[in-house]
Chains A and B, each alone.
Chain A
Amino acid sequence: MTLSTIKITDRDHQIAKLSAIAVALSLVEFFFPSPIPGVKPGIANIIILYTIFKFDMQMGVWVSLIRVFVTSIILGSFLSPTFFLSLSGAIFSLLSLMVFKNLKREYFSIISLSLIASLAHIFGQFIIVRIWIIPHNGIFYLLPIFIVSAFIFGLVTALITIKLLQLNPKK
Chain B
Amino acid sequence: MKKKLLQSYKLIKIGDWFTIILFCLLIIISTKLLWNMPQGEYLEIYKNNELLATYSLNQKITKEIKGKKGKTKIVIDNGRVRFSSSPCPKKYCIHQGWITKANQTIICIPNEISISIIGAKKGYDTINY
Contacts and interface: CB of A to CB of B under 8 A. Distances in A.
A binds B: yes
Interface of A: 103-104, 106-109, 111-112, 115-116, 119, 136-138, 140-141, 143-144, 147-148, 151, 155, 159, 162
Contacts, number: 63
5 contacts: A106-B13, A115-B23, A119-B23, A138-B129, A143-B34
Contact of B11 (A106, A111, A137): A111
B80 to A, nearest CB: 21
Given A108-B16, A116-B19, A140-B34, 12 more contacts: A103-B15, A107-B13, A107-B15, A111-B11, A111-B19, A111-B20, A119-B23, A119-B26, A144-B31, A144-B34, A144-B35, A151-B23
Contact of B14 (A107, A116, A143, A148): A107
Contact of B26 (A112, A140, A147): A147
B50 interface: no
B16 A112 contact: yes
Interface residues of B, number: 22
Contacts of B8: 159
Looking at A106, A109, A144, the one whose CB has the most chain B CB atoms below 10 A away is A144
A162 B7 CA distance: 12
Contacts of A119: 23, 26
A151 B16 CA distance: 12
A111 B12 CA distance: 7
Nearest to A136: B129
